Amino acid sequence: MNSIPTYCAQIPEAGLRAALRQDRPEIIGKISASGLKGRGGAGFPTAVKWNFAAAAQAERKFIICNADEGEPGTFKDRVILMEHPDLVFEGMTIAGKAVGAREGILFLRGEYTYLRSALEETLAKRRRCNLLGKTILGSPLEFDIRIFIGAGAYICGEETALIECLEGFRGEPRNRPPFPVNTGYLGYPSVVNNVETLAWAACILANGPQWFKSVGTEKSTGRKIFSISGDCRRPGVYEFPLGITVAQLLQEVDGADARAVQIGGASGQCVPARDFARTIAFEDIPTGGSVIVFGPQRDMLDMLHNFLEFFTDESCGQCAPCRLGNAKLLEGVEMLQAGSCSMAYLKELCGLGETMQVASKCGLGQSSPSAFLSVVEHFREEIMGRTLNRRG
């Protein structure tokens, strides 16, 4: 089966060995043919990213693995890093070869500091086995990886904010363009990829693009690792082909009585039960892997309140739509909870949400109103005219 565990049960480092036999365009061609898209949520084609960085002329280039997994309800990268760290480092090394980078950085979120010692051991072991260093497996390829620990900021999952943090600044996203593939860490071309993306890249190099794209949909090829939590009997990390329907997924995790599912974390969208036939794929409901299940007893306003508190806290404060908008939406949810929000004001709040989607500088502010807007759209009946504040 074309999954990460089956790949790991095969010959170790098959992906890296295959990459060493190929030149750069061949490697990028394989990734391109597989249709692999960024697994962090944005879904940008990985091959395009690699290609830009490969084409850039520079003395130094960087491969940065984004392990700043902060999206509410996401924990798959933690599990990948705990169970298959070699695969991620293998993927980074392949990316290094494809792009012409000699330096890799694993940006590990501060909350995952406890993973560090095991990861450092894995890196040391790889250096001993000649899988990192100056002449990897006897080839002229030079590549090494170091670990950088984050300091607790959700926004650093955004690639330019992550680079700001690496450079010793506040994690405030930059204007794009220029993109990191041209002007990234210290001004050098840098590829920032999600943990899972790099893991898949290694699998694809070993088994070929066909192996990967034999499942999934036309626009969303391959399998995806999901982090499933909330009101279901079997929460945890799952691997499903993209294009799976919400209903199928709920059946697998034994959460079929759900009234709604939040897909894509706090910045994703809320899917009500009547839409459970929709598919999880970049062309329908995109996700970085977070699926939070809400059972029949849940109040959607409680959920929104939690998400907007999160965004109000984690907004970097750099641009006004996000800094002020999230606070206004939170206030609006509190009014709805207290039953003191008029329909006219609710419409204004929706207008504000739409403004945030277009006017915010980075993905945080652009996506933070999604949950609010989808709850207002799908659960209007139950959020209006509250007679008591259920939160007490």
Within residues 168-207, the interface with other proteins by CB under 8 A covers: 168-171, 186
Cα distance between residue 10 and residue 375, in whole Å: 45
Counting contacts by CB under 8 A, is residue 277 touching other proteins? no
Element (H, E) at 87: helix 85-99
Q: How far is the CB of 248 from other proteins (least distance, A)?
A: 19
Cα distance between residue 178 and residue 362, in whole Å: 14
Name the one range near other proteins by CB under 8 A: 27-35, 45-53, 106-114, 362-370.
106-114
The nearer residue to other proteins, 140 or 168, going by C-beta atoms, is 168
Q: How far is the CB of 280 from other proteins (least distance, A)?
A: 17
The nearer residue to other proteins, 73 or 209, going by C-beta atoms, is 73
Q: Which residues contact 67 (CB under 8 A, 6 or more apart)?
A: 77, 81, 106, 107, 108, 109, 112, 195
Counting contacts by CB under 8 A, is residue 389 touching other proteins? no
Name the one range near other proteins by CB under 8 A: 26-34, 74-82, 85-93, 319-327.
74-82
- The token pair at 286 is 């995109």
Q: How far is the CB of 326 from other proteins (least distance, A)?
A: 13
Pairing mode, if any, of strands 190-194 and 62-67? parallel
First to last CA, the chain: 50
What is the Cβ-side half-sphere exposure of residue 150, based on CA atoms within 13 angstroms? 29
The nearer residue to other proteins, 97 or 361, going by C-beta atoms, is 361
Counting contacts by CB under 8 A, is residue 110 touching other proteins? yes
Count of residues near other proteins by CB under 8 A? 51
How many other β-carbons are positioned within 10 Å of the β-carbon of residue 26?
Answer: 13
Cα distance between residue 82 and residue 100, in whole Å: 28
The alpha helices in 115-190, defined as continuous H runs, are: 116-128, 159-166
Counting contacts by CB under 8 A, is residue 80 touching other proteins? no
Counting contacts by CB under 8 A, is residue 71 touching other proteins? yes
Among 11, 151, 344, 358, binds other proteins (CB under 8 A): 151
- The token pair at 378 is 């799908």
The nearer residue to other proteins, 72 or 222, going by C-beta atoms, is 72
Among 153, 191, 204, 329, binds other proteins (CB under 8 A): 153
Counting contacts by CB under 8 A, is residue 44 touching other proteins? no
- Cα torsion angle, 380, 286, 261, 256, sign: positive
The nearer residue to other proteins, 18 or 280, going by C-beta atoms, is 280
Among 113, 340, 342, 389, binds other proteins (CB under 8 A): 113
User: In 3D, which of 366, 3, 29 has the Cα closest to residue 212?
Assistant: 3
Counting contacts by CB under 8 A, is residue 33 touching other proteins? no
DSSP state for residue 226 in the 8-state scheme? E
**Burial category of 324 from C-beta neighbours within 10 Å (exposed 0-12, middle 13-18, buried 19 and up):** middle
Binding site for other proteins (CB under 8 A): 69-75, 77-78, 109-114, 148-154, 165-171, 186, 227-231, 235-237, 262, 266, 292, 298, 302-303, 306-307, 309-310, 313-314, 316
